[in-house]
Amino acid sequence: MASLKIEVRGLGYGVCGTEILNGVDARVPDGEITAVVGPSGAGKSTLLRAINRLIEPSSGEVYLEGVPTGSLDPLELRRRVGMVFQIPALFGTSVEEAVLYGARLSGGDADPGRLLEVVGLDPSLAGRDPQTLSVGQQQRVSIARALALEPEALLLDEPTSALDEAARRKIEELVRDLNDRLGLTMVFVSHDLSQVERVADRLVLLADGKSVGEWERGDFFSEAGERARRFIAGRL
């Protein structure tokens, strides 16, 4: 395994007395796509939000290249670890503005045309109102927006759940492509095992706020992973 980009140790998080995460361990190797899989309510999205400190874990710690993220400036951390959500939530009246939103917050700049190309969109869309794009295109813009900050890692929270089958496949290809070309480390939340097989290098399985296990893709989708696959299939 490559060196670890992100490591989660004993993570806990609760809301109003309900434990959503209860001792989660997970390892995200540098330059690989790690899928977080589990039934709904398992704590997948919560785990992602704890990694970039959108929420404050009540116990345990997340390490970014060995440094506890609790000791980092949260704004700096979020620029280093980008995030893409289920819903694109774009800002501004043009695609260009939407792409540059995060970069401009920190006084930086980026080339919107190049970023649109990277995510497979025509740079001529830069002047369009983002609301006139299809949801699949909007999701690509939100990926371009995250890339504009030149992150070291990208968290993707079920980025295809609002898309139809064709758009879903295209985003999957884009994710693989970004990983191949840029070597970008990614954490990909999904509840779809066939999608995980297409996209991820390895996977972390969560259930009821606890980590159940971690597998390399090959191991999980071979005979050895049969029991784990049946465990998930029964609960997804």
Partner 1 sequence: MEGLQTVGSALLTLGLVAVAVVLSLYERLDLEREIGVAVVRSFVQLAAIGYVINFIFGLENLGAVALLLGGMVLFAAWTSARRAGDVPRAFAVAAVAVGVAAVATLGLLLALRVVPATARYLIPLGGMVIGNSMNAASLTLTRIRDDLAEQRPKVEAALALGATSRQAVAPILRVSLQSALIPLIDATKTTGIIFLPGAMVGMIIAGADPLEAVRLQIVVLYMLLGSVSIAAILVGTLSYRSFFTPRHQLRKGVSG
Contacting residues toward partner 1, per CB under 8 A: 15-16, 49, 52-56, 74-76, 78-79, 82-83, 85, 87, 89, 91, 101-102, 105-106, 142, 145-146, 149
Residue 118 CB coordination number (10 Å): 19
Residue at 138: amino acid letter: Q
Question: Of 5 and 78, which has the nearer Cβ to partner 1?
Answer: 78
Smallest distance from the beta carbon of 121 to partner 1, in angstroms?
Answer: 19
Question: Of 8 and 50, which has the nearer Cβ to partner 1?
Answer: 50
Please write down the HEC assignment for all residues of the chain.
Answer: CCCEEEEEEEEEEEECCEEEEEEEEEEEECCCEEEEECCCCCCHHHHHHHHCCCCCCCEEEEEECCEEHHHCCHHHHHHHEEEECCCCCCCCCCHHHHHHHHHHHCCCCCCHHHHHHHCCCCHHHHHCCHHHCCHHHHHHHHHHHHHCCCCCEEEEECCCCCCCHHHHHHHHHHHHHHHHHHCCEEEEEECCHHHHHHHCCEEEEEECCEEEEEEEHHHHCCHHHHHHHHHHHCCC
Smallest distance from the beta carbon of 200 to partner 1, in angstroms?
Answer: 21
Q: Edge to edge, what strands does the sheet with 18-29 contain? A: 18-29, 4-15, 59-64, 67-68
Question: Of 106 and 124, which has the nearer Cβ to partner 1?
Answer: 106
Question: Of 5 and 53, which has the nearer Cβ to partner 1?
Answer: 53
Smallest distance from the beta carbon of 165 to partner 1, in angstroms?
Answer: 23
Question: Of 31 and 92, which has the nearer Cβ to partner 1?
Answer: 92
Smallest distance from the beta carbon of 87 to partner 1, in angstroms?
Answer: 5
Smallest distance from the beta carbon of 54 to partner 1, in angstroms?
Answer: 6
Question: Of 16 and 233, which has the nearer Cβ to partner 1?
Answer: 16
Smallest distance from the beta carbon of 206 to partner 1, in angstroms?
Answer: 20
Contact 187, 156 (CB under 8 A): yes
Question: Of 1 and 15, which has the nearer Cβ to partner 1?
Answer: 15
Smallest distance from the beta carbon of 114 to partner 1, in angstroms?
Answer: 18
